[in-house]
A and B are shown apart, each in its own frame.
Chain A
Amino acid sequence: MAVALFLVPLIFALAAFLVPSSRVRPWLVPLGAAAHLGLVIVALRENADVSAFSGWLVLDKLGRVALPLVSTLFAGCSLYVPTYLRLRSERPNRVFCGALLTFLSMMTLIIISHHMGLMWVALEATTLATAPLLYFNQNARSLEATWKYLLIGGTGIALALLGSFFLAYSALHAGIHGSLLIDELVRDAPLLSRPWLHTAFIVLFVGYGTKMGLAPMHTWKPDAYGEAPGLVGALLAGGLTTCAFLAILRFYQVCAAAGEGAFAREIMVVMGLLSMAVAGVFMARQRDYKRMLAYSSVEHMGILVLGIGIGGLAAFGAMLHLVNNALTEGVLFIAAANIHRAYGTKTIDTVGGALRRVPASAALFLAGFFAVTGSPPFGPFLSEFTILRGAFDSGRYGIAAAFLALLFVVFVGMGGTVLAVVQGKPRDDLPDTGFHDSLGTVGPALILLIAVVVLGVWVPPGLEEALREAASLVENGR
């Protein structure tokens, strides 16, 4: 079962490479996504542990949150693939479809792998699988974005490996015969050599944090999200970052089990607030609305680690925010991609009055903006409010105040750009791009938005239970 979870998308990827017809091939992506989602649902309903290879692959309580999330987001975005590739029929799509499905497979592998080395290999594989996705447009700008993504991401991956070695050494020094299984590290955590453990966590945090896009390691993000096709941006912002965050949580789990949780939490609080602040600064007067979304993603990565850093109720809030953020990013990136298609440019110098030109996409973009900045009744409001309550409950009023202030700064900064996009009258001299709202381009974003609204009003008991268990696993190791 555990093997099938990542093997099935890989088989679909292979099929995508083999299918000769460029018209049929894009349909393999939603098909593969549906198969994956089906498998995930079956795996979640199984009462016994889903595992394979003597503990190398385990679907644990964290995975039970992250895997359905990634699978749902991918399924939502995959509905957009056939329409998008029909609009871009001038481009070959063999590599694009194959890489998308490989990407899904490797994200799954990161989530279910409990072996440090295997998790690292899967992370590297996601980077390689996403490079051709970023380079889809094959122009100078997407090339520059891909180059930065590979070099900065590659450095992050290298550091993640170095950190894994440090962690393994801390076990070796303690006389434990070098285990790289997370479960064994958590079990033996009290014995680990402290100086090595501290160094390992810092290096791992920087390494996986680079993939997550935390400031100041976020510099690849605006370029990559700005130049990538919208649905790729959605999958990077909601999927890949979720996987990198999960990796950080696993190492935090080891730290917490070793009694060094406070040390790790301080780092996460500082880095979380820093990411929010950097995002706030760069989002103000941002003229490019896709780059603006990248900074919004940096902000939300900051909120996630901040929530874990505060701990307790806020850790539960962070898990809830993980779900809300990924789904909301999906809405925003797809809506932004539609607006981009309709105007042909992505700066507010030429884009305006989108509510008149593409009413449905613009309305979704506006709703996505309110959702992502934490306005009721959307899901992120609930999760950000939970993190805030967690900060108050633990008496960290300074952090709570900074959190609120930064949320406000981001709201104002982002609002300026979003309103410029949707309001007003479109310029008269705009060329007709032939793009109109249709079921295929608006539907996927609408489905994701409905999910975000539902989560803002009502968190299903099953999900709440899963989130609580995941937060407890991270903090208490069970």
Chain B
Amino acid sequence: MSTAVDPLLVLILMLNFLLLGTSRLRSAINASAMQGALLGLLTVFVHGELSARPLVVGAAAIAIKGLLIPGMLHRALRDAAIRREIEPYVSFVTSLILGAVATGAAVLFADRLPLAPEHQELLLVPASLATVLAGFLIMSTRRKAITQVVGYLVLENGIFVMGLTLHDAMPSLVEIGVLLDLLVAIFVIGIVINHINREFGSLDVAQLDALKE
């Protein structure tokens, strides 16, 4: 079973680059949805044998990260009638290069961290760090509120991968709490976006600049 883990992680890393390089809001949301769905599969495969808990958590991840939140984002996109392409602060080529550098740095850094025997053959830690960094990059280089939310999702996905290394160690309460909190956080952020839309008639955070020194 766990032979599927590394290929899945490589797919997640490739999606990071798709997210960093795409200029279309729709494909960015879809890529984050695919990443979420892959995380659900990963949760199941990371365990040697099938058991109930990883199945439930995996299904929840697919439902929330793969369907629900992307659905909300698509809806926000439609309601605001925004289909324009993203105008980033740095060009897509630059952010792809930065993404590559970040991935390399994540691999180098993860190499310095000692791993427990059961994780030594897997890419879980470098993939987690690389995805977290990609999320940061997207959040800090994009203008649109909605892309920043996608960046935040990618960041959370990276953290989720790290959480998989601890799956047996974490009490289930925390597991559920994590997913619930994520849902609520995005939900609230979604409401806020809705209001931004109403107030400014656009989802461009560059207009949120009345407050500065």
A150 touches B148 (CB 8 A): no
B184 touches A128 (CB 8 A): yes
- Total A-B Cβ pairs within 8 A: 111
A165 touches B162 (CB 8 A): yes
Task: Decide yes or no whether B82 CB sits under 8 A from chain A.
Answer: no
Task: Decide yes or no whether A141 CB sits under 8 A from chain B.
Answer: yes
**Which of A127, A131, A158, A282 has a CB less than 8 Å from the CB of B156?**
A158
CA A135 to CA B115, docked complex, whole Å: 45
Q: Which residue of A lies closest to B168 (CB)?
A: A178
Interface string of B185-209 (1 = CB under 8 A from A): 1001100100110011000010010
Q: Which residue of B lies closest to A222 (CB)?
A: B211
Report B195 CB to chain A, min CB distance, Å.
Answer: 6
**Which of B178, B185, B195 has a CB less than 8 Å from the CB of A143?**
B195
A172 touching B165 in the complex, CB below 8 Å, given contacts A128-B184, A143-B199 = yes
Interface string of A110-124 (1 = CB under 8 A from B): 000000011001001
CA A429 to CA B32, docked complex, whole Å: 55
- 15 example contacts (A-B, Cβ-Cβ < 8 A) are as follows A117-B171, A124-B181, A135-B192, A143-B192, A146-B192, A147-B196, A147-B205, A151-B139, A161-B159, A168-B169, A168-B170, A169-B162, A172-B166, A178-B168, A193-B114
A147 touches B145 (CB 8 A): yes
Measured between beta carbons, the chain A residues less than 8 angstroms from B162 are 162, 165-166, 169
Measured between beta carbons, the chain B residues less than 8 angstroms from A37 are none
Task: Decide yes or no whether A477 CB sits under 8 A from chain B.
Answer: no
Measured between beta carbons, the chain B residues less than 8 angstroms from A127 are 185
What size tier do the contact residues of chain A reach?
Answer: 35 or more
A143 touching B196 in the complex, CB below 8 Å, given contacts A178-B169, A226-B211 = yes
Report B168 CB to chain A, min CB distance, Å.
Answer: 7
Centre residue among B112, B152, B174, B210 by max chain A CB count within 10 A = B174
Task: Decide yes or no whether A49 CB sits under 8 A from chain B.
Answer: no
Task: Decide yes or no whether B116 CB sits under 8 A from chain A.
Answer: yes
Task: Decide yes or no whether B21 CB sits under 8 A from chain A.
Answer: no
B113 touches A196 (CB 8 A): yes
Measured between beta carbons, the chain A residues less than 8 angstroms from B48 are none
Interface string of B138-156 (1 = CB under 8 A from A): 0100000100100010011
A162 touching B132 in the complex, CB below 8 Å, given contacts A144-B210, A195-B112, A196-B113 = yes
Centre residue among A146, A161, A222 by max chain B CB count within 10 A = A161
A195 touches B116 (CB 8 A): no
Q: Which residue of B lies closest to A161 (CB)?
A: B159
Measured between beta carbons, the chain A residues less than 8 angstroms from B192 are 131, 135, 143, 146-147, 150
Measured between beta carbons, the chain A residues less than 8 angstroms from B136 are 155
The 8 A-B residue pairs with the shortest CB-CB distance, nearest first, are A178-B169, A117-B174, A144-B208, A223-B211, A121-B177, A165-B162, A124-B181, A162-B159
Measured between beta carbons, the chain A residues less than 8 angstroms from B1 are none
Report B211 CB to chain A, min CB distance, Å.
Answer: 5
Question: Which residues, 96 to 132 on A, are CB-close (under 8 Å) to B?
Answer: 117-118, 121, 124-125, 127-128, 131
Measured between beta carbons, the chain A residues less than 8 angstroms from B174 are 117-118, 121, 180
CA A128 to CA B144, docked complex, whole Å: 22
A165 touches B166 (CB 8 A): yes
B115 touches A173 (CB 8 A): yes
CA A455 to CA B50, docked complex, whole Å: 61
Measured between beta carbons, the chain A residues less than 8 angstroms from B159 are 158, 161-162, 165
A169 touches B211 (CB 8 A): no
Task: Decide yes or no whether B52 CB sits under 8 A from chain A.
Answer: no
**Which of B114, B185, B205, B210 has a CB less than 8 Å from the CB of A173?**
B114
A155 touches B139 (CB 8 A): yes
Task: Decide yes or no whether A154 CB sits under 8 A from chain B.
Answer: yes
Report B23 CB to chain A, min CB distance, Å.
Answer: 22
A154 touches B166 (CB 8 A): no
Task: Decide yes or no whether A140 CB sits under 8 A from chain B.
Answer: yes
Task: Decide yes or no whether A148 CB sits under 8 A from chain B.
Answer: yes
Measured between beta carbons, the chain A residues less than 8 angstroms from B178 are 161
CA A135 to CA B192, docked complex, whole Å: 10
Measured between beta carbons, the chain B residues less than 8 angstroms from A168 are 166, 169-170
A121 touching B181 in the complex, CB below 8 Å, given contacts A168-B170, A178-B170, A180-B170 = yes
Interface string of A2-36 (1 = CB under 8 A from B): 00000000000000000000000000000000000
B166 touches A178 (CB 8 A): yes
Measured between beta carbons, the chain B residues less than 8 angstroms from A227 are 211
Task: Decide yes or no whether A177 CB sits under 8 A from chain B.
Answer: yes
B152 touches A151 (CB 8 A): yes
Task: Decide yes or no whether A231 CB sits under 8 A from chain B.
Answer: no
A180 touching B184 in the complex, CB below 8 Å, given contacts A162-B162, A173-B114 = no
Question: Which residues, 119 to 150 on B, are CB-close (under 8 Å) to A?
Answer: 132, 136, 139, 145, 148
Measured between beta carbons, the chain A residues less than 8 angstroms from B205 are 147
Task: Decide yes or no whether B163 CB sits under 8 A from chain A.
Answer: yes
Measured between beta carbons, the chain B residues less than 8 angstroms from A161 are 159, 178
Measured between beta carbons, the chain A residues less than 8 angstroms from B114 are 173, 193, 195-196
Measured between beta carbons, the chain A residues less than 8 angstroms from B155 are 155, 158
CA A144 to CA B209, docked complex, whole Å: 8
A154 touches B113 (CB 8 A): no
CA A386 to CA B35, docked complex, whole Å: 52
CA A173 to CA B132, docked complex, whole Å: 22
Task: Decide yes or no whether A438 CB sits under 8 A from chain B.
Answer: no
**Which of A155, A166, A172 has a CB less than 8 Å from the CB of B116?**
A172
**Which of B148, B169, B200 has a CB less than 8 Å from the CB of A151?**
B148
Interface string of A199-237 (1 = CB under 8 A from B): 100000000000000000000001100110000000000
Task: Decide yes or no whether A145 CB sits under 8 A from chain B.
Answer: yes
Report A131 CB to chain B, min CB distance, Å.
Answer: 6
Interface string of A148-188 (1 = CB under 8 A from B): 10110011011001100110110111000111100000000
CA A144 to CA B211, docked complex, whole Å: 8
A141 touching B210 in the complex, CB below 8 Å, given contacts A158-B159, A195-B113 = yes
Q: Which residue of A lies closest to B178 (CB)?
A: A161
A173 touching B211 in the complex, CB below 8 Å, given contacts A121-B177, A143-B196, A180-B171 = no
Q: Which residue of A lies closest to B189 (CB)?
A: A150
